[in-house]
Amino acid sequence: MQWTTEQRYTRIEDVSKDEWAALKKQVDCSPWRQTYHIQPQTGLLNDPNGFSFYNGEYHLFYQWFPLGPVHGIKYWYHTKSKDLVHWENAGIALHPNDDFDSHGAYSGSGIVHNEKLYLMYTGNTRDEQWVRHPKQNIAVMDKQGTIQKWEKPVINEVPSGYTDHFRDPKVWEENGLFYAIIGAQRTNLTGCVVLYSSPDMETWTFEGEIETALPHFGYMWECPDYFTIDGQGVLIFSPQGIAPEGDCYHNIYQSGYVFGNLDVETQSINHGVFTELDRGFDFYAPQTMKAPDGRRILVGWMGLPEMSYPTDVHGWAHCLTLPRELTIENGRLIQRPVRELQQLRGVQMETSADLCDEMQTFDSFSGTAFEMICSFELDDADSCGIEIRVNDEEKTVIAYDALEQKVHLDRTYSGALADSKYGSVRSCSLAAEKVTFHLFVDSSSLELFVNDGAEVFTSRIFPSKDSAGIRFFAKGGRASCQAVKWTIGA
Ligand code: FRU
């Protein structure tokens, strides 16, 4: 279905309850509804926003177009949780119904200040000529959960030198000042980030562009984030317009990080190489927060812009990733599923096997929603791995190729195809004698943590409900494997 501009800009307030209920009914019948991931009730979800801890709860908002699987007029939808595992839908947080966000309440972040949760976001507006004018706005949530937008934008104009692609403020506090980093496009159509400061969240001063060693790296940097872990600065951003290179950058847009400490005085960052955060097919626009116990936690959008997905015909699209804890170990960023997720563990099963150029299945090792940790020790096998969500026609293959020293994720036969224009295999290098695959599988997704978070592959897959088999294999020689699996949900 082609969506007209008018349809994309139809607000949920303007459709009847019956119309929305009919859409919801259609969505509820989708065979690919997730069982333990944050997903929209209807329509399209994209970036995580305002991820924070306030008043005893985690708050996680997301970009939402309620009326269909397209990027229409965006709302902020609010979910909250006491444990990062069980999330409660808390309703629409920001409606795009003011002059300063008339064409969408776009992405932004949250920070606790004066015992309230401050949400700083981009108001997307367009004039009569359909020219975009981004505004940076603030809304404040109190302990009762009431959210009040401020009457005027705090940053009304785009500074000279940048186009109207200027959005996604991420706020933090440092030495008694607030800083906001904003994704931008220079007038020469290259991407960058800029820095603002404020003593009080009200008055914001443009400090300047952050000087990096990547002056020509794509045409727009979306959703920047900056934080430190044990004193090491990390700048995350989602650049658009990067060409594939070896195993990297194969999705339409990328998300990655550089290590480097941002000097707010000189607005510069002396940093290392840009590294992709995730090796899978569906990961974009992540956002982090600092948990009360000091952990740095990341959630991403398990989807990408401008792609079609098999759930489109069911009236919805996308979900968020599980929360991951970030650490820096031996100079590398490590991502692990947060330990709270162990609460989801149901029935436990274990198995082990010596495999010799063969494929094996084990009784009761099957499922469509589960967690599994599976370790391989390679003897003389060329490759080893697992196949999940298997039936006679379908399989999703996770393999370690010892000859190439690479991990591969192959979703060619995973079921219905997400947009296959960008290929159906993802790979990354990994030199190891022992390989551990830690998987979280849901009705239509796979999050694969390799070797204790050294690499992550996040992907949607769209198998039939009866594709529940799990197989273990070694090719060209011997490998031994040990697996433990927990059911999740029913
Ligand atoms: C990233 C993004 C952001 C923008 C939002 C709009 O996916 O394009 O830059 O604020 O989505 O929904």
235-277 pLDDT tens trace: 999 999 999 999 999 999 999 999 999 999 999 999 999 999 9
Fold of 5-340: Tachylectin-2; Chain A (2.115.10)
Catalytic residue list: 47
Residue 490 scores a pLDDT above 80 = no
pLDDT classification of 364: cutoffs 50, 70, 90: confident
**pLDDT mean over 407-415:** 98
Which residues line the pocket of ligand 1, CB cutoff 6 A?
A: 46-47, 63, 74, 106-107, 122, 167-168, 222-223, 284-285, 305
Query: Using one digit for the tens of pLDDT, what is the confidence trace for 436-481?
Result: 999 999 999 999 999 999 999 999 999 999 999 999 999 999 999 9
State if pTM tops 0.95.
yes
How many angstroms is it from 34 CA to the middle of ligand 1?
23
CB 274 within 8 A of CB 293: no
Q: Which of 44, 45, 47, 166 to mutate to test the pocket of ligand 1 (most atoms within 8 A of CB)?
A: 47
Quick one: tokens of 95? 């409606």
Query: Using one digit for the tens of pLDDT, what is the confidence trace for 18-38?
Result: 999 999 999 999 999 999 999
- pLDDT value for 145: 97
The domain 345-487 is placed in CATH, from the list 2.60.120.560, 3.30.450.150, 3.40.640.10, 3.40.50.720, at 2.60.120.560
Residue 98 scores a pLDDT above 90 = yes
| C-alpha distances out from residue 217 to 194, 224, 238, 263, Å | 15, 14, 11, 21
Quick one: tokens of 398? 């996770």
Q: Which residues is 480 bridged to in the sheet? A: 354, 377
Cα–Cα distance, 280 to 254 (Å, whole number): 11
Cα–Cα distance, 193 to 183 (Å, whole number): 5
**pLDDT mean over 416-435:** 92
Query: Using one digit for the tens of pLDDT, what is the confidence trace for 131-176?
Result: 999 999 999 999 999 999 999 999 999 999 999 999 999 999 999 9
Query: Using one digit for the tens of pLDDT, what is the confidence trace for 208-223?
Result: 999 999 999 999 999 9
What phi and psi, each to the nearest 5 degrees, are found at residue 159?
-65, 155
How many CB atoms lie under 10 A from the CB of residue 348? 10
Spell out the domain ranges in the chain. Answer: 5-340, 345-487
- Across the chain, mean pLDDT equals 97
**pLDDT mean over 95-115:** 98
Q: Which residues is 309 bridged to in the sheet? A: none
Q: How far is CA 266 from the centre of its chain?
A: 31
Cα–Cα distance, 184 to 242 (Å, whole number): 16
**pLDDT mean over 279-303:** 98
Percent of the chain's residues with pLDDT above 70: 100
Residue 205 scores a pLDDT above 90 = yes
Alpha-carbon Rg for the chain in angstroms: 22
Output the CA torsion 410→414→420→424 (10° steps).
Answer: 0
